[in-house]
Amino acid sequence: DGGITQSPKYLFRKEGQNVTLSCEQNLNHDAMYWYRQDPGQGLRLIYYSQIVNDFQKGDIAEGYSVSREKKESFPLTVTSAQKNPTAFYLCASSIILDRGYISNQPQHFGDGTRLSIL
Amino acid sequence: GENVEQHPSTLSVQEGDSAVIKCTYSDSASNYFPWYKQELGKRPQLIIDIRSNVGEKKDQRIAVTLNKTAKHFSLHITETQPEDSAVYFCAALGQGGKLIFGQGTELSVKP
């Protein structure tokens, strides 16, 4: 979906370094998500946000942080506390019809960022 | 905890044959079940989804069936083509409104 842009496509992290992955969408979606995908594995939810200036932890939030200052943007920071950051990171967005079930509408994904350790 | 089990992990079929991928879920309150196709190194793309108020949904060569009593749902691809080769993920809406993904099925369609 051309409406979600992730950058960079490839990223390398040095020991003790924080890195930030960008996710921008022009679909006017309220909800945005960050997932981590390891080789041969499914997607695991890191953080999600339903509205500007609000976000919630997913299943594997430790070592990550996010912000949602604008509706269009949901950057993810991989901190030095994340000891095994090598993975494929996917950002997604969706509309919200029922705030009790933020994920019951189709999620549209970006092209992903592949993060590796130097 | 909540989980989605997906089988098989790999599936190889001849071009023109049918392929079936099955998933079971643990949360009986789940009411939304999407399927995604992911080609190597690319984004997952939604190919079909189903809600709990129906038992089957079709879109050309792709169909999904849902059995709420047994808590399982399946993806059926008929007349497979080499371009159907990819990893397929099922997902179910879990508690707190979050999607829970299966582990994926690598489908290989041999010409």
| pLDDT tens, residue by residue, A4-62 | 999 999 999 888 899 999 999 999 999 999 999 998 788 999 999 989 999 999 999 99
Model confidence at A98: pLDDT above 70 = no
A74, A64 contact by CB (below 8 A): no
Distance CA B27, CA B71 (A): 8
Average pLDDT of chain B, as a whole number: 93
Total CB pairs under 8 A between chain A and B: 56
Q: Mutation target for B interface from A33, A98, A103: give the one with most B CBs within 10 A.
A: A103
Determine contact: B101 vs chain A, CB below 8 A.
yes
Q: Under DSSP, is residue B23 helix (H, G, I), strand (E, B) or coil?
A: strand
Taking residues A90-114, what's their average pLDDT?
Answer: 82
